Amino acid sequence: MDTIYINGGRPLRGTLAVQGSKNAVLPLLAAAAAVPGKTVLLHCPPIRDVAVTRALLHGLGVSSCRHGDAIELDAASAVGTAPDAVLAGQLRSSVLLLGALIGRHGSAEIPLPGGCVLGARPLDLHLSGLEALGVRVVCEDGVLRCQGRPSGGTVRLPYPSVGATENLILAALGAAGPVCIHGAAKEPEIRDLAVFLNACGAQITGAGTGLVRIMPSPLHGASHRVLPDRMEAATWLCAAAATGGCLTLTELRPAHLRPVLEVLSRAGCDVTETETALTLRAGALTAPGTVVTGPYPAFPTDAQAPVMAALLLAEGLTRIEETVFENRFRHVPALRALGADIDCTGRTACVRGVKALHGAALTATDLRGAAAMVCAALSAQGESKITQAWHLERGYGQLIQRLRTLGAEIWMEPKQSPTRRTTWNRTESGRASGEP
């Protein structure tokens, strides 16, 4: 999917079932490498990051096959400790193999990870946490070399990093003694990881709170259903809000979307919900005031760009403060090209609602920024073209088909894939059928 076209101005209406969470399934796949047995992950989204992660695992000796939305993995005889550098360079979450391999083998050589360029994205919290557990860490020539089984002990994270918390939980699985993580991230995806690992025999308590405890315990295979994707859900809700539509989402947990629902409600959307479904009805929107991103349970940084897109036509001034990543307004020039009125100063964006947006030619910059461009283009009058749309495949399965079922006029122009995708296709050949 290189270029997509959208003829905007049509309210989205209908029902969608939310896919499994990207930010949950990627740590779960890394965790499968730490489990010396067969695991089954259900409700896996058909996204490119999953396919790339499976290819990475395959290189380590973890076999996998996909049947519909289920992925069966077998890491019983996996001995690899050095993931492929080209594949690892495509994903930020490849760094989670560090914890999984240290926990399982006491050794890991991880190329510096890739993913969306949202700022410096250092790994200091991951590495100092591992060092606090007695692991020796050296970084040279773009490779992190880690040696030694974790000894057990206490780690204090000065910031609740999602990735560092996940890495430390995975490393602690092979520790000689109990591990305590203070200042842990509280995202639902971390609890999901612990639920899976506990089904595999781990003894993890407190996941989803700021204090996680891991007791040493032998692991075995298990089956687990991946959490619904709150970021995919937020994106569809923003698309419906932007277009003045009416959308019902099923198979989700509205409780995990609370700050996003609050902002959309303040903007004038009518939201009704049950435990696993919700309906959003949008009319003319008004600016909801200030939105500040932060670690869970605050407003999620991943929903910042789509929510900004939803509010471009909202009457009044919306102030958006991005506190998590320093470079997460890369979608703003594209939204301005559609006619949006946005001023950015440092980590604050001020959005002044305009009467109408118009179609334009845009270039996707990153996964959630690209999702924001789609939402905004759906609400603009006329045709928009989005190039480098492959960013969307990293996190949204069957995006075009799903939006079409809601009445969107959206289509794609298949073209030669970018180099990184060609690399993935070659490596993944024959092992990722059903994935983009």
Residue ranges binding ligand UD1 (CB under 6 A)? 23, 26, 92-93, 119-126, 159, 161-164, 185, 301-302, 324-325
Q: DSSP strand E in 293-413: where? A: 317-321, 341-345, 348-352, 361-363, 382-387, 409-413
Instruction: Yes or no: say if 170 and 100 are a contact pair by the CB < 8 Å rule.
Output: yes
Closer to ligand UD1 by Cβ: residue 11 or 129: 129
CB of residue 80 vs ligand UD1: minimum separation in angstroms? 21
Task: Please give the structure tokens belonging to residue 260.
Answer: 């996003």
Closer to ligand UD1 by Cβ: residue 16 or 324: 324
Given 44, 116, 146, 246, the catalytic residue: 116
CB of residue 301 vs ligand UD1: minimum separation in angstroms? 5
* DSSP per-residue string spanning 251-268: SS-GGGGHHHHHHHHHTT
| SS3 state at 333 | helix
CB of residue 121 vs ligand UD1: minimum separation in angstroms? 5
Q: DSSP strand E in 173-324: where? A: 179-182, 203-205, 211-215, 223-225, 246-250, 270-273, 277-281, 290-292, 317-321
How far is residue 29's CA from residue 147's CA, in Å, rounded to a whole number? 22
Closer to ligand UD1 by Cβ: residue 127 or 269: 127
CB of residue 307 vs ligand UD1: minimum separation in angstroms? 14
How far is residue 312's CA from residue 382's CA, in Å, rounded to a whole number? 16
CB of residue 14 vs ligand UD1: minimum separation in angstroms? 27
**Helix axis angle, 48-59 to 22-32, nearest 10°:** 10
CB of residue 430 vs ligand UD1: minimum separation in angstroms? 26
Closer to ligand UD1 by Cβ: residue 196 or 384: 196
Instruction: Yes or no: say if 242 and 378 are a contact pair by the CB < 8 Å rule.
Output: yes
Q: Quick check: is 180 catalytic? A: no
How far is residue 299's CA from residue 258's CA, in Å, rounded to a whole number? 8
Cα–chain center distance at 81? 25
39: phi then psi, degrees, rounded to nearest 5 = -125, 155
Closer to ligand UD1 by Cβ: residue 339 or 395: 395
Closer to ligand UD1 by Cβ: residue 164 or 200: 164
Closest residue to ligand UD1 in the complex (CB): 163
Active site residues: 116
